[in-house]
Amino acid sequence: MLSLIKQPVTGKRVLVRADFNVSFESDGKTIADDFRIRAALPTIQWLCDQGAKVVLMSHLGRPIGGKEEQKTLEPIAKYLAKCLKKPVLCASDCVGSDVEDDVLAMQNGDVIMLENLRFHKGETENDPIFAKKLARLGEAYVNDAFGVSHRAHASVSAITKFLPAYTGFLLEKELETLSGVLTKPKKPLVLVIGGAKIETKLPIIKNLLPQASKVLVGGAVANTFFAAKGLGVGASKIETEFIPHAKRILKSSRIVLPSDVLATPNPLGRARIKFRSVRTVRDGEMILDIGPKTTEQFAQIITKAATVVWNGPMGLFEIPAFAHGTIDLARAIGAADGFSIVGGGETVTLLRKLKLESKITYISTGGGAMLEFLGGKKLPGLEALGYYRKARSRK
């Protein structure tokens, strides 16, 4: 791949694919979590300092059927203007003659934010015609959006056929850090997996299991493993089609499941919450968090790890009664001496609320992308940049 740092960009129109898919407060205008925006600033600032004409691209949410006012990127542009201490124009669209006129009028060091890419179906369809329209706005392309590099979308994949393509500083840092886990992790390596869907977590468990000393499993993901062991999970969510996969993984002694859990018949009502052994969950009860014995066991394992990789909460942490396991685990990882990597939007948001960001060695901007990369899957955005061709040549 070609690094941006080595390219002469002064006076050039540089299209930067960033990931500004951030969360907002209930008013729909105030940014609730600016982590992804701040992560993109080094690349944007460097381009401005070099005298490039910076054209930013991103999506926000999943608009259906064209432009949606509540998914405009105007609040992002205003926030960026404060961060960069300079004007950031938000274009009326991301393609078309009006946008082209705005871009052609740019001066060196100017910044323009294109409107939400997903207002056009060509983006998610990886349409080369749409990609070519985007490419007309620039003279060079930079991918600095690791968080969407697992998507075969026009602004991530197809566009590289029409412009010289480079890697931004954030993308380079993500790849440097995460590839180190695959090739030369400090051991013992501990993988902590939670969240809702076992389907998305199986590849990373399978791929890292040979190197991991322990794989700690919580959240709804653990329910399918319980079912694979023949344990009753009451009314808890399980993915029955993946029980055979879970049975095969459980043959490894390195998989550590919760020994106790929090269970209740109704998480939103006044039903009593019970600490239960995983063998005594009753019919009609839902497992919604790991229990205190499990939390202590997991924390002890994490303390001894040289590398910890965490993706996914341990329970329904949006409800305070079921957040204790995830919070305690976050604090244990933050207090550990080992190298720690955390990814996943929910998990990262929690770290910020707990003021633990500085205690984590590296926080990834990608949730799904991190899972797929560490799971050994080829990411379309990286393929488009030639990442895997170079990897083969090194071998």
**Residues with active-site annotation:** 36, 197, 345, 368
d(CA 384, CA 157): 5
DSSP code of residue 31:
B
Interaxial angle between packed helices 198-208 and 169-183, expressed in degrees from 0 to 180 and rounded to the nearest 10: 60
Do 301 and 329 form a contact (C-beta atoms < 8 A)? no
H or E stretch including 312?
none
**Rg value, the chain, Cα:** 22
H or E stretch including 151?
none
For residue 333, give the nearest of 353, 313, 361 by alpha carbon. 361
First to last CA, the chain: 16
Q: In this structure, what token pair is assigned to residue 387?
A: 């990442």
d(CA 210, CA 35): 32
Q: Tell me which amino acid residue 83 is.
A: C
DSSP 87-99: --EE-S-SSSHHH
Q: How far is CA 297 from CA 199, 215, 258, in A?
A: 25, 12, 9
